[in-house]
Amino acid sequence: MVDQKIRVRKYDGRTQVFNREKIEVAILKAAEAIGEEIPKATIKRISAEVEEMVEKLDKKTVKSEEISKFVEDKLMNSSYKNIARCYIEYRHKQDLVREVNTTDKSILELLDGRNEYWNRENSNKNARLVTTQRDYIAGITATDLTRRYFLDKDIVNAHDEGIIHFHDADYFLPGAGRNNCCLVNLEDMLQNGTVINNVKIEKPHKFSTACTIATQIITAVSSSQYGGVTVSLTHLAPFVRDSYNRFYKEYLKRGLPKEQAKEFAELDTKREVKDGVQTFNYQVNSMSSTNGQAPFISVGMDISETKEYKKELAMIIEEFLKQRIEGMKNEQGIWITMAFPKLLYVLCEENITEDAPYWYLTELSAKCTAKRMVPDYISAKKMREYKINKFNKGDVYPCMGCRSFLTPDRIKGNPSKALNYKENEGKYYGRFNSGVVTLSLPDIALSSKGDFKKFWELFEERTELCHKALQARLDSIKNISPDIAPILWKHGAFARLTSEDSVEPLLKGGYSTISLGFAGLYECVKYMTGHSHTDEAEGEKFGLEIMQALNDKCAQWKKEEDVDYSVYGTPIESTTYKFAKCLKKRFGDDVFTKIDGKDRDYITNSYHTWVEEEIDPFEKLRIESKFQKLSPGGAISYVETANLQNNIEAVLEVIKFIYDNIMYAELNTKSDYCQVCGYDHEIEIIEDGKGNLIYKCPNCGNTDHSKMNIARRVCGYISTTMPNNGRMDEFRNRYVHLDNHEAK
């Protein structure tokens, strides 16, 4: 028997005398929890053996977790492995319950206002605002519950170690499950009416009203999910004609001749389009969702999406571009770059050549991109090659939010009960993504120590862990009632279900997607082969092999479950820093130096070229297009540029190249303003002497971020707040691909 002087130190610091009966009770509870029997004699034998192991430690005080590990090992080495697993889960939950209350600590640090993590956690959230703090406080509490009660230990541990990243745990709780991002079925909601906050909203009869209702829908949808929202301007186009007809009839009623009535009606319609677009822009930038920020909104601009309302759609697109070029005023009344809405301009046969009827819109979009970083560009040509629907037809549709793309339509019938459902056409609006879990590819490579056999063993193990985490995501949503978010499930954004309907059919059959994210392909390939994945030789071959393997896993899971798992090039806005810190902790502070000789605090996004690689912009897009094709769940490539406002021809050349070579890409420039001195060129990134990277005006030396307006492309969306050190490090190291230097 263990010396009665030996004490056990509990998780809260208290100690008590060792008592092996507590071990026996815990094993018995684990067995009962899964309905398995284990003889009492076996339990007593295990507890006695553990007691002997404790005695051999020759310590006066033994940690509780040491004893738990002895019990786990004994059970795992017996024929009662299922009981062992249950015991491990039981101990895990008890460990978390007994931990020091990290929730209180996190909330207090947030409210203190001086914690760098919270102040720079999200690239578009201001943690000093009460609306944001309220969302964060709810998120901290939800994350705590998620970790302790709703996610298995192996998922939590892998997330903490940076092996995977379980995104948006603060919006996970089962029963309150939210989806990620979506394509809103705005056409159905405007044409057939909707309900917001129990108020019936009927079909509008003019463009300005339609714009106002659209922004209300966007805010309501944003408050009911946690990711980006996309609407199509095509769905607003019919209301431009309604406005024109109202004006025309009014002038005829006043006795004006038809030609004069037509002329005046057209002028009034143009004014209404201008006012309606202005209302849209003001609303989405001034309204706040329950997530504590302006809605993450993208708008699709596809002139080929309609035949009947092409003229009206062109008017809307033109006005959106003109107003975006102008910008929005800051507190001082200076025109600056705004983050939202993100503009998605579709390149097609009708706007890609100088003799095309809507080439003037493409020229305008190029000017807008050069000044305000948007729009981003979707190639209809490449998309039709990649997105083949069940009718064997290539489809074109916008991404959800910044980059998440739906799988091609394979839906049977109309499970969403949409009122605008059309037979024999691809269905995209009203569909959504259920969430993302991201795999750190560099960690697999480093854990394998360069052994390719071990690499693929770890790849299999960790992708299946991601699969398990993604299934938890689906489980958190499948049993919710449509009443939990009526705007989504009952009133048209996603569906027209009743309170008694199940949302589960919309998680299967290709209606929605769920994403296997990946990050750090460059570092992974570089470590394993000694080459970049952009070398078009050994490195590229291995990189494409990894991408294909990710797709094969998604195809396997899809076949087994009828769920559209899809490979996704994760933006890792703040996670880039987390992954880098975890790699340094697990493999040494010099881990990046070992990979390529360059220390840093970030890993490379998705399949992107290493940010410091000196590469021609056209070569970059051409090479990355091979990897983007294998990231069908979403990805975006970029070209970093200097100020090109005086070289729109260069922008147009890149746009044309995008159309012919890659499905989705953007051009990144800088758009800054110092409120202290009025400097409006690029503001520098410097070290502040305390280990932080901050912005500094090179003209007056201002380092107060609250007195600057800075717009930087994080990865997809534009950031107007100061991101974490890792992302700032990545910003300052980006090679400018399009400048006045010679390409190497």
Give 493-547 as a DSSP string.
Answer: SS----TTS-SGGGGSTTSSEEEEEEE-HHHHHHHHHSS-TTSSSHHHHHHHHHH
Q: What is the pLDDT of residue 724?
A: 83
Q: Do the beta carbons of residue 294 and residue 284 sit within 8 Å?
A: yes
Q: What is the pLDDT of residue 115?
A: 56
Average pLDDT over residues 187-199: 97
Average the pLDDT over each of 90-94, 151-155, 453-457, 574-578 and give the range with the smallest value. 90-94
Determine the residue type at 353: T
Closest C-alpha to 601, from 589, 613, 586, 619:
589
Average the pLDDT over each of 77-91, 248-262, 411-425, 610-624 and give the range with the smallest value. 77-91
Residues 599 and 728 in one domain: no
pLDDT over 70 (residue 742): no
Residues 605 and 674 in one domain: no
Determine the residue type at 44: K
94 — pLDDT class (breaks 50, 70, 90): low
- Across the chain, mean pLDDT equals 91
Q: How far is 655 from 351, CA to CA, in rounded Å?
A: 11
pLDDT over 50 (residue 234): yes
Residues 523 and 591 in one domain: yes
Range of the domain at 52: 7-98
Q: Do the beta carbons of residue 262 and residue 248 sit within 8 Å?
A: yes
pLDDT over 90 (residue 523): yes
Residues with a catalytic annotation lie at 180-181, 400, 402, 404, 433, 568, 573, 716
Q: What is the pLDDT of residue 171?
A: 85
Residue at a domain's end among 73, 98, 123: 98
Tell which wins on pLDDT, 103 or 32.
Answer: 32
Q: What is the pLDDT of residue 691?
A: 86
100 — pLDDT class (breaks 50, 70, 90): very low
Closest C-alpha to 66, from 40, 41, 91:
91
Average pLDDT over residues 617-645: 96
Tell which wins on pLDDT, 177 or 321.
Answer: 321
Residues 557 and 693 in one domain: no
584 — pLDDT class (breaks 50, 70, 90): very high
Which pLDDT tens digit goes with each residue over 632-648? 999 999 999 998 999 99
pLDDT over 90 (residue 572): no
Residue 553 parent element (H or E): helix 538-561
Residue 440 parent element (H or E): strand 433-440
Residues 453 and 559 in one domain: yes
Decide if 455 is inside a domain: yes
Residues 455 and 514 in one domain: yes
Two tokens, residue 92 = 């895990």
Which pLDDT tens digit goes with each residue over 676-733? 999 988 999 999 988 899 999 999 999 998 899 998 887 777 878 778 888 889 989 9
Decide if 285 is inside a domain: no
- Count CB atoms within 10 A of the CB of residue 448: 19
Decide if 311 is inside a domain: no
Q: How far is 602 from 160, CA to CA, in rounded Å?
A: 17
Decide if 462 is inside a domain: yes
Two tokens, residue 275 = 């006012």
The upper half-sphere exposure of residue 109, i.e. CA atoms within 13 Å in the direction of its Cβ, equals 14
Q: What is the pLDDT of residue 743?
A: 46
Q: How far is CA 595 from CA 43, 521, 542, 571, 582, in A?
A: 49, 12, 16, 22, 15
Which pLDDT tens digit goes with each residue over 649-683? 999 999 999 999 999 999 998 888 999 999 988 99
431 — pLDDT class (breaks 50, 70, 90): very high
Which pLDDT tens digit goes with each residue over 344-365? 999 999 999 999 999 999 999 9
Average pLDDT over residues 37-41: 90
Residue 378 parent element (H or E): strand 376-379
Average the pLDDT over each of 55-59, 212-216, 497-501, 594-598 and give the range with the smallest value. 55-59
Closest C-alpha to 90, from 23, 136, 169, 186:
23
Tell which wins on pLDDT, 161 or 292.
Answer: 161
Which pLDDT tens digit goes with each residue over 457-509? 999 999 999 999 999 999 999 999 999 999 999 999 999 999 999 999 999 99
pLDDT over 80 (residue 253): yes
CATH of the domain at 524: 3.20.70.20
Q: How far is 111 from 129, CA to CA, in rounded Å?
A: 10
Decide if 1 is inside a domain: no
Q: What is the pLDDT of residue 608?
A: 97
> Which stretches does DSSP call E strand in 251-326?
297-301
Residues 433 and 567 in one domain: yes
pLDDT over 90 (residue 149): no
Residues 468 and 575 in one domain: yes
Instruction: Match 């499970």 to its residue by tokens.
Output: 415
Residue at a domain's end among 61, 76, 98: 98
Decide if 511 is inside a domain: yes
Residues 473 and 611 in one domain: yes
Highest mean pLDDT: which range of 12-21, 505-514, 689-698: 505-514
Closest C-alpha to 227, from 292, 168, 287, 160:
168
- Count CB atoms within 10 A of the CB of residue 561: 15
Decide if 735 is inside a domain: yes
Q: How far is 288 from 295, CA to CA, in rounded Å?
A: 7
Sheet containing strand 671-674, strands side by side? 671-674, 708-715, 717-719
Average pLDDT over residues 535-542: 97
Highest mean pLDDT: which range of 82-96, 165-179, 534-548: 534-548
Decide if 486 is inside a domain: yes
Tell which wins on pLDDT, 571 or 64.
Answer: 571
List of residues 6+ apart from 677 with CB closer than 8 A? 697, 699, 700, 702
Domains identified in the chain, total number: 3
List of residues 6+ apart from 24 with CB closer than 8 A? 43, 44, 47
Average the pLDDT over each of 440-449, 533-542, 657-666, 731-740 and give the range with the smallest value. 731-740
Residues 515 and 453 in one domain: yes
Residues 579 and 699 in one domain: no
